[in-house]
Amino acid sequence: DAGITQSPRYKITETGRQVTLMCHQTWSHSYMFWYRQDLGHGLRLIYYSAAADITDKGEVPDGYVVSRSKTENFPLTLESATRSQTSVYFCASSGDTSYGYTFGSGTRLTVV
Amino acid sequence: KQEVTQIPAALSVPEGENLVLNCSFTDSAIYNLQWFRQDPGKGLTSLLLIQSSQREQTSGRLNASLDKSSGRSTLYIAASQPGDSATYLCAVRLINTGTASKLTFGTGTRLQVTL
C-alpha cells in the first residue's frame, strides 16, 4: 500500500541499549523528517534529509543518528538510549516545497 | 527564528457551533501553511494546505485562510460535531534554511465539542 509506515508501533528498551526506529515511504518523496513529541514541548525536529545521502541536524539531534542510503527509507537510531529519550517519534515525508507533509502513525518508545 | 502561536490553547463548544482557530507566525518567508488534526495517542492528519500565494482553502466544513503579510491564518469549522474533538496544529513551511525547507509547528489548540 502507498503511504508512510513506521515500525515498530511500540518499543520498550533498557537504558544504554541501541535501538533503531524504521520509516518507509512509497512515494519517492525527496524530503524526510524525524520529530519527537513530548508533553510541554510539542513537536521538535530531530533530523531531516533532502535526498538520499543528504542528512542534516534539526533542533534536538544529540544522541540520535540517521542514515538515508535509499530514498524510501530513513531509519533513526538511538545509539545508547536514555530515559530522556522516552517519547513518541514521528516520521514525515514531503515532495518539493509546494507539497505538504505526510506523517506516519508514530512509534511510542519507552526507555526503562 | 520563526515562532508560531495558536490561540486559544483550549476551547470547549457545544455541538453545532461555528468556531475559529487562530494561528500567527513571525516570519512571512514561507512556502505554505498546513493545518493538522491530532487525536489523542494518534498521529497527525493533514486537513488543509495553503500555498503562500493563496488566500484560502476549503474542504467540507473546514475553511482555512492565510494572510501572509500580517502573519496570520485562521481555521474555520462550521457546524461543529463531537467527532471534531481533537488537537489542531498549524505549521508553516519555511523558505530553505539548511538543506531542506522545514515545518515549524504551532503550540496547538485542544478542541472539545460537547453534546
Write the pLDDT tens digit of every residue in B44-90: 999 999 999 999 999 999 999 999 999 999 999 999 999 999 999 99
Write the pLDDT tens digit of every residue in A56-65: 999 999 999 9
Copy the grid coordinates of residue A25. Answer: 515511504
By CA distance, what is B32's nearest residue in A?
A98
- Answer whether B63 touches A (CB < 8 Å): no
Copy the grid coordinates of residue A79. Answer: 545509539
Q: What is the per-residue DSSP string for A2-24?
A: -SEEEE-SEEEE-TT--EEEEEE
Are residues A100 and B98, on separate chains, in Cβ contact within 8 Å? Answer: no
Burial A79-88 (b: 16+ CB within 10 A, else e): eebeeebbbb
Write the pLDDT tens digit of every residue in A3-53: 999 999 999 999 999 999 999 999 999 999 999 999 888 899 999 999 999
Provide, as residue numbers in chain A, all residues whose Cβ is less than 8 Å from the Cβ of B105: 42-43
- Answer whether A25 touches B (CB < 8 Å): no
pLDDT the model gives residue A58: 92
pLDDT the model gives residue B96: 66
pLDDT the model gives residue B95: 86
3-state secondary structure of A103: strand
